Structure 1
Amino acid sequence: MKLVLLILVVAIVGAYSAPVQDNSIYGDERWTIARDGEGRMHLVDLNPLEVEPETFFDPSADMFFLLYTRSNPTDGQRITYNVQSLGNFRRNGSTRVLIHGWTTSSMSTENVFTRNEFLAQGDHNVIAVDWSVGASANYITSRNRVSSAGQEVARFLDFLHSKR
């Protein structure tokens, strides 16, 4: 009898002490699993009750582009919107662009592997985009920055195309 009473007391205390989450205001998609740029899985709250302050992200100032070719396969050459900075860029060559994911940088394992494979397969211009300033925030903030980062990449590719 004492064991049954103890189990009943533990169940009642547990029921009252456990936080109750009312998901009705958040819908069915409050939580998701997201993979970062290195393949690690994270449980992400899509509607956090407490939001950390966002850091400022200016794609034109915070992003940079590294050029790799067979002449410089491991030491990326930083290229900018300046013709003189294009160095090893082959204007008539094929170009491959690598963009890292959430919480990583242009030196992520995936980017390095892919860069090496591109250079092994052909004499390409491989451009690694680094938007780690924007991608290192919490998942939602980083996700919301993808569009502006993509616009900056498009603007840079337009610049490269105009110099061919």
Structure 2
Amino acid sequence: MKAIEIERKFLVRNDSWRDCAGMSHVLQQAYLSRDKNSVRVRLIDGRSACLTIKFHTAGLAKDEYEYEIPVEEARDLLLHATGHVIEKTRYRVLYEGRNWDVDVFAGVYEGLTLAEIEIASEDDLPALPKWLGREVTGNKRYSNRAMAVASCSRPRMHGAVDDRAAL
């Protein structure tokens, strides 16, 4: 199914978002190519899986195609990762009527927490919660794909509040 994805991404300043957190899912995801566009396999809670293909277009927008696939095929595809498998728990957080996804990373990126919101257009300006830190939209070092193909060594952590979990 084709969709257009437009999102903004932020570092997370503190854990106060947890007061509004709803459901969560444990995700394992891997990228299957190093191309400019991306092919991603995602295993969700070990019980469902999807294959996603994204094509960058103008600005923040991406054409996205996502297909449900059998869990066993996803597990097999994870073995073909370009780089390493990203591990994270994604929480749905409602703030002023809008759903945010807060990703708490595990594995090599343990300590990193990012929040993202899908928006209808680049002109859409959602209210920003106080628990957000610096915006990192468009910063490639915070893209899951870039993190997956980066060195597998533990990322260097910074001490500043907004950068406490920077890569």
- Given the two structures, how large is their TM-score scaled by the length of structure 2? 0.21
Which structure: greater helix fraction?
1
What is the TM-score of this pair, normalised by structure 1? 0.22
> Which structure would you say has the larger Rg?
1
Higher RCO (CA 8 Å, separation ≥ 6 residues): 2
